[in-house]
Amino acid sequence: MGLTLGDLARAIGAELSGDPGLVVERVATLQGADGAAVSFLANRQYRRLLGSTRAAGVILSAQDAPACPVAVLVMENPYLGYARAAALLGPQDRPRSGVDGMAWVSPEARVHETAWVGPHAVVESGAEVGPQAQVGPGCVVAEGAVIGAGTRLVANVTIGARVRLGARVLVHPGAVLGADGFGFAQAGGTWVKIPQLGSVVVGDDVEIGANTTIDRGALDDTVVEDGVKLDNQIQVGHNCHIGAHTAIAGCTGIAGSAHIGRHCMIGGGVGVNGHIDICDGAVISGRSVVYQSITKPGQYASGVPLLPQETWARTFQRFRQLEDLARRVKRLEQDAPARAAFSGAEEEE
């Protein structure tokens, strides 16, 4: 069950200083660790807890090593070391196989013999469930959908008709892929539905959070490329395209036909306008709103920091008057032209 520090260091790519024979059985926080646990330090905020840890060893960077009272596993990216150690020491997934007696599988569906279809799951006509794929309890895989090898729908997931998921995709409960995009034409004050004829195509190694929704395209497909990580309660509109290895935090909403590049990092609660482009490598802070395309990588923000309620009320009263304030400053400047010129001269000296 356990692993020696020596074996662990080799497996995660760290350099060990300390007793290589010590056995650890789990990963724990600096505070929560005991002598059978390995811990890690990746966030500066928690450095103060290092001195008092009782872990057998700590995965950390070279600069933090001297302050550590126990064995150290030094590597450049200790957070990656923690990820690897937790995967090695945590419980191992044992994929199930077979079709549960309380599942409903169409005779025209193809379920691989190594796949699992759990109780109360539904696999409709023409759908395919690949090798070792896991269709958990209460999941619905609609007509013609494709679930790739090793992909897992945890529970109560809905996969719409013709949606295609790649290999090793992990979809958390309540996620909905392939609902109709939101498209209507106006006709005399009422709305006429635009049939949503496209689908959703998801690459390999994607993770999709609980209650996240990804709509099918109107004509073309909505696309989520390989390695994308989506947190909970994200909404992806029809015909969006999310580039490979982009990560998006919870509660973010992306309007239709937005095109997001590769290797982007988008914070929680962000709003992305429709029909815009975000270039590769953009980093967007939580609660920002992206109305226009972003053409240069870098970090962007638009969230409004918190104020005490009264200060907030006064400040926003002033904010509404900003146009007026700017005009008044302009008038003051126009009234003092000589001074302004003089002041400019001063600055140049």
What token pair was written down for 77?
């990216």
- State the amino acid at position 276 in one-letter form: I
263 touches a second copy (CB under 8 A): yes
Stretch that binds a second copy, among 50-58, 61-69, 108-116, 338-346 (CB under 8 A): 338-346
C-alpha 259/C-alpha 290 separation (Å) is: 12
Stretch that binds a second copy, among 25-33, 54-62, 64-72, 108-116 (CB under 8 A): 25-33
C-alpha 64/C-alpha 59 separation (Å) is: 10
C-alpha 266/C-alpha 250 separation (Å) is: 9
210 touches a second copy (CB under 8 A): yes
The neighbour count for residue 69, using CB atoms within 10 Å, is 12
What token pair was written down for 134?
């896991």
Question: Least distance in Å: CB of 203 to a second copy?
Answer: 12
The residues near 63 (Cβ < 8 Å, ≥ 6 apart) are none
319 touches a second copy (CB under 8 A): yes
Stretch that binds a second copy, among 14-22, 62-70, 108-116, 292-300 (CB under 8 A): 292-300
What token pair was written down for 154?
């945890």
Residue closer to a second copy, measured from CB, 68 or 236: 236
Q: Which of 4, 17, 29, 97 binds a second copy (CB under 8 A)?
A: 29
199 touches a second copy (CB under 8 A): no
47 touches a second copy (CB under 8 A): no
C-alpha 188/C-alpha 114 separation (Å) is: 54
191 touches a second copy (CB under 8 A): yes
1 touches a second copy (CB under 8 A): no
Question: If DSSP codes are grouped into helix, strand and coil, which group holds residue 176?
Answer: strand
Residue closer to a second copy, measured from CB, 112 or 120: 120
CB 157 within 8 A of CB 193: no
What token pair was written down for 34?
């005991």
The verdict on whether 112 is a catalytic residue reads: no
125 touches a second copy (CB under 8 A): no
String marking each residue 136-155 x if it binds a second copy according to CB under 8 A = xxx-x-x-----------xx
Q: Which of 53, 132, 151, 156 binds a second copy (CB under 8 A)?
A: 156
Q: Which of 21, 66, 107, 308 binds a second copy (CB under 8 A)?
A: 308
| Beta-ladder partners of 17 | 72
C-alpha 210/C-alpha 213 separation (Å) is: 9
2 touches a second copy (CB under 8 A): no
Q: Which of 292, 345, 348, 349 binds a second copy (CB under 8 A)?
A: 292
Stretch that binds a second copy, among 2-10, 15-23, 53-61, 334-342 (CB under 8 A): 334-342
Tell me phi and psi for residue 339, to 5 degrees: -60, -45
- The secondary structure element, H or E, covering residue 260 is strand 259-260
Longest C-alpha distance within the chain, in Å? Answer: 90
The region, left, alpha or beta by phi > 0 then psi within -120 to 50, assigned to residue 340 is: alpha
Positions in 62-91 near a second copy (CB under 8 A): 77, 79-80, 82-84, 86-87, 90-91
110 touches a second copy (CB under 8 A): no
The active-site residue out of 112, 120, 172, 238 is 238
Residue closer to a second copy, measured from CB, 132 or 288: 288
176 touches a second copy (CB under 8 A): yes
- State the amino acid at position 84 in one-letter form: R
Q: Which positions are annotated as active-site residues? A: 238
